[in-house]
Chain A
Amino acid sequence: MSETVGSKATTTMLPSNVGDRGRGGRDSRNGGDARPVGRMVNAPIPERLHPNGPVTRARLRRTFFGVACAWAIGAIPLAIGASAGWKAFGLGLFLPGGGFVYTSDPVFAAASLIAFALALVLYWAFGPVLLPPAVWVGAATLSTLRIDTGLWDTAQVAVPVALVVVIAGSVTARQIVFRRARRRGRALNERLRDISFPVSSAPAAPPVGESSPEDLSALRYAFDLALQPIDRWDGFGFVDQFREAAVRYQLNFLQYSTAMSQYTCTPAFTGYLAEAQRNAIEKMLQPRVWKYWRWENLWGNLRWEPDPLRRDNVMLSGYWGTMVGLYESLNGDDRYNAPGALTFRNGEREVYPYDFGTVAGLMRANLLRSPFCMFPCEPSWIYPICSSYALNTVILHDRLNGGDSSDVMGGFRESFDRDFLHPDGRIVAIRNGRLGFAIGAAPTINESVLVSWLNPGLPDFAQRLWWLLRERVIDLDGPKVLPTIRDLDRVDVGNYHFGKDTFARTMVLLAAREMGDDEVAEAVQCSIDQTAQIELQRGVRRYRGLSVYGNLAHTLARFMRRDATRDMIAFDLPAAWTVGPRLSGAAYPDVLVARAVTDGRALDLVLRPGAGPVRTTLALDRLVPGAKYAVDGHTAQPIVADARGSATITDVELGDRLELRVRPL
């Protein structure tokens, strides 16, 4: 991607349809437009000469060679005039069900085709690599048992001809789609030529906002889920542990949402907020979360290796690594760097010890080892979304430990441009890493999620993706905001319920917030509020009918601001945040912390009661040992830090919103 550093005066700074308000402030969290712009970058869609990138082409050639070998074997009985049984088998190798065409069994032929399609779907869903070939060869074999029912000799010509027609039709359709996409891409590039995207640098002082009562009640849903004992799962959704409704994604977004609330509103509060994040991380070590992998690895990679991290499975490892990195970064707590601090244990004999360093090392190694610079979730299947979390794990670890992730970021970008991008800039959502072919998935959900999570490492790419998404999907003038949303975007992937697009809208909301496009964010939020019913019980707020995953993603979106994910992952915290006083303890749900920030010496707090008026105590740490502090807003009596730099503020009357300032005397 070409750069026009410092060309602000001569180029359009923003996508034309993103108004200044869109990059400005939703509230004080956004920080307005005062944020420094590191550089301006043009991000045209890469020109493509072939429908597929080089690595994909190599994979497809290999796949075609393998299938062509099967066809060649199938042609032998026809060429040498073998017995009817062998001919049925050979025709069955040409096409699933081809043998049954020869044996005059149209119903079985159709059933074979359907079974093969179903096998492909199961292969996509759960990864059993032998299932499709087994169904194909199995149908060919079974057809040899039906030669007594009458033979249709014309099938010896019709089946190979049908095969040729299918291949020619597929190639032609692919070419037509490719050329259309390329034309669209060129038209879009004409417009993108005049647009530069601002790539932000590290914020000097990230804006810290104040949570509204609604924000706090949404956060309480996350806290109540997270603050249970590690082995309890009340309120989590259990459907299956293989696909998107798996509990691991609920845990991921439980941690991301609480981490984001900490970053944008309460960076100087640990207490139950940090504990909630730790619980989410450590629940991921429970066998019921990761045991699914032994089966997927067995039938997908034909390997008995229950260790959930060593190979593939980025759908667990990448997301989890990001959780650990965020926790360490925001809380200054390196407990997960100790060897074996993150140990998967199933009984006494099955123990897989890891720590943050080894997890990040595995992410880096797996990314760089793959020619795609991405690695699979389910065996064979590469999802750029999941690999983006692996990338973020590496970025977080390198930032916290002084490493350099430019090699991984470079490889990832190249791979995207080469093999995971359509000529019109849309994303290839899923590609089979072994065989090379790609399949579609919920496009709006996929691209919206990528906007948020690619922004830390590939910010110009993320902004272009958002620009394209806005062009294609969003209509702020119409009543629906997202009028073109359809198909799989109408599924709540957190519970597989079809029919509503609240989940997709939530993901668009995430992307809009990350891009600072408040115009879209507000419109999407309004559309969610109009279509989804809000449930409010004992101070806990969530959307009815939306999965746990969806609700937690919405909570994450609540606390986001422009470049929040990027700032939180890619850049160090301000020095003042890492040394200044913190609120280290407060009773839950008595005390809800709406704002907590330090300038390195003083601590500013905004508190709200969560269970009615209460007289309570607050615990502080990282004070200067032995120093005296005034507590503005509470008492005239100063507090004195003990030898460890801790102190408590007692008898705090919390009846409504309360501002406190702890400052050194």
Chain B
Amino acid sequence: MLCCIVLLAVVGLVFRRNGVDDPLPPPARRTVEGALAPMIVNPSPNTSAAPFTSTATTATTATLCRWGAIGVAFYVSAITALLACGAASALDDSGAHWLMRDLSFAIVASFALVISERMAKDRRRALHRPTLALIGVGAAWTVLGFIDMHVFGLIEIAHGAMLWDAVFHAAGFWAVIGGLLLLNRREMTRPAPGAVQQVNFR
């Protein structure tokens, strides 16, 4: 029960509309014969987001996968740089372990790229792309950092200093959370296409 409450609370927090009600639908009109009279709809600033289309959803997923793959590359490059400058140190000198780790990361990145390429028909339809970059790269940083340090035990940050370790992990985590919040905010405030529309009744 507690878990259900927690999950619903999380879902509610992520998707809540800041107390804004769904907008009233535009007033409908019918003639006595049941015919539809054309009318002008002025979307209010509170108008709900333009509906997701399946194309937009697919494009969003594809873009997210692509940024995930880029995130893997970014993470590997960043760790290499940190190792080179001494901010991070290697705990395991076994070449086989590092090779296995690099191969795993490469497979994950390739898989994400393949999915992205297969799904993407029109990436321009994706939701706010810079936000997706934040989510994709942040997720890759968080997951790979956890695996590198706590599963494979290959590296440590600042010789195991707790503070820097927390900063290292939190950076990716908060990028994801920030991205999700930004995305949610943008979707809530995205106006319906066209400031004034002619509703095309049947």
Taking beta carbons and an 8 Å cutoff, which residues of A are in contact with B?
108, 117-118, 120-122, 124-125, 142, 145, 148, 221, 223-230, 232-240, 243, 245, 271-272, 275, 287-288, 291, 439-441, 487-488, 491, 495-498, 535, 537-538, 540, 542, 544-545, 547-548, 585-589, 616-619, 648
Q: How far is A118 from B3 in the complex, measured between Cα atoms in Å?
A: 7
The answer to whether residues A235 and B25 also contact, given A121-B7, A229-B199, A288-B51 and a CB cut-off of 8 A, is yes
> Which of B3, B21, B28 contacts A227, CB < 8 Å?
B28
**Interface residue B31 (Cβ < 8 Å from any Cβ of A):** yes
Whether the Cβ atoms of A288 and B52 lie closer than 8 Å is: yes
Q: Are B29 and A588 in contact (CB under 8 A)?
A: yes
Give Cα A526–Cα B143 distance, bound, in whole angstroms.
Answer: 52
CB distance from B44 to the nearest CB of A (A): 11
| Smallest CB-CB A-B distances: 8 pairs | A235-B25, A227-B28, A496-B12, A588-B30, A224-B25, A121-B3, A237-B22, A121-B7
Tell me if B166 is interfacial: C-beta within 8 Å of chain A: no
From B24, B48, B150, B200, give the contact of A537 (CB < 8 A).
B24
Min Cβ gap A647→B in Å is 12
| B interface with A by C-beta (< 8 Å) | 1, 3-9, 11-12, 15-17, 19, 21-34, 41, 47-49, 51-54, 150-153, 192, 199-202
Supply 25 A–B pairs (Cβ within 8 Å), ascending by A. A118-B3, A120-B3, A148-B153, A224-B28, A228-B26, A229-B201, A235-B23, A240-B11, A245-B15, A272-B28, A272-B30, A272-B34, A275-B30, A287-B54, A288-B52, A439-B4, A440-B1, A488-B8, A538-B27, A540-B24, A544-B21, A547-B22, A588-B28, A588-B30, A589-B28
Given contacts A227-B28, A275-B30, contact A232 B11 (CB under 8 A): no
SS of B interface (majority): loop
B51 touches A239 (CB 8 A): no
Give A224's nearest chain B residue, CB to CB.
B25
- Residue of chain B at shortest CB distance from A586: B32
Give the CA-CA distance A238 to B47 in the complex, in Å: 12
- Contact between A225 and B25 (Cβ–Cβ < 8 Å)? yes
Decide: A495 near B199, CB < 8 A? Known: A228-B26, A235-B22.
no
Say whether, besides A545-B21, A588-B28, A498 and B49 are in contact (CB < 8 Å): no
Q: How far is the CA of A496 from the CA of B7 in the complex (A)?
A: 10
Q: Nearest Cβ in chain A — how far from B30, in angstroms?
A: 4
Chain B residue at minimal CB-CB distance from A539:
B27
Bound form: Cα–Cα A245–B53 in Å: 18
A587→B48 contact, CB < 8 A:
no
Expressed in whole angstroms, the minimum distance between the Cβ of B101 and any Cβ of chain A is 12
Known interface pairs A488-B4, A547-B22; 6 further A-B residue pairs with C-beta atoms within 8 A, sorted by A's residue number: A142-B151, A221-B25, A225-B25, A226-B28, A496-B16, A545-B21
Chain B residues within an 8 Å CB radius of A585:
32-34
When distances are taken between beta carbons in the complex, the residues of chain A under 8 Å from B29 are 587-589
Judge whether B15 and A496 touch: CB under 8 Å.
yes
Smallest CB separation, A282 vs chain B (Å): 11
Partner of B7, one of A125, A148, A235: A125
Beyond A585-B33, A616-B32, whether A498 also contacts B51 by CB under 8 A is: no
Residue of B nearest to A291 (CB): B54
A235 to B4 alpha-carbon distance, docked (Å):
28
Q: Which residues of B contact A287 (CB under 8 A)?
A: 54
**A232–B23 touching, CB < 8 Å:** no
Query: Which A residues touch B7, using CB under 8 A?
Result: 118, 121-122, 125
Q: Which residues of A have CB within 8 Å of B47?
A: 234
| CB-defined contacts of A233 to chain B, threshold 8 Å | 51
Report how far A548 CA is from B17 CA in the complex, Å: 13
Shortest distance between the CB of A258 and any CB in chain B (Å): 13
User: Assuming the A-B contacts A225-B25, A228-B26, A495-B17, are A617 and B32 also in contact, with contact meaning beta carbons closer than 8 angstroms in the complex?
Assistant: yes
- A547 to B9 alpha-carbon distance, docked (Å): 16
Q: Give the shortest distance, in Å, between A627 (CB) and chain B (any CB).
A: 21
A398 CA to B42 CA, complexed, in Å: 46
A488 cross-chain contacts in B, Cβ below 8 A:
1, 4-5, 8
Chain A residue contacts of B51, Cβ below 8 A: 233, 238, 288
Residues of B within 8 A of A120 (CB): 3
A495 to B17, CA, bound (A): 9
Q: B200 contacts which chain A residues (CB < 8 A)?
A: 229
CA distance A589 to B37 in the complex (A): 11
Instruction: Tell me which of B9, B31, B32 contacts A498 (CB under 8 A).
Output: B9
Residues of A with C-beta under 8 A to B27: 224, 538, 540, 589
B30 touches which of A125, A496, A587, A648 (Cβ 8 Å): A587
Contacts of B5 in A (CB 8 A): 487-488
> For B16, what are the chain A residues with a Cβ–Cβ distance below 8 Å?
495-497
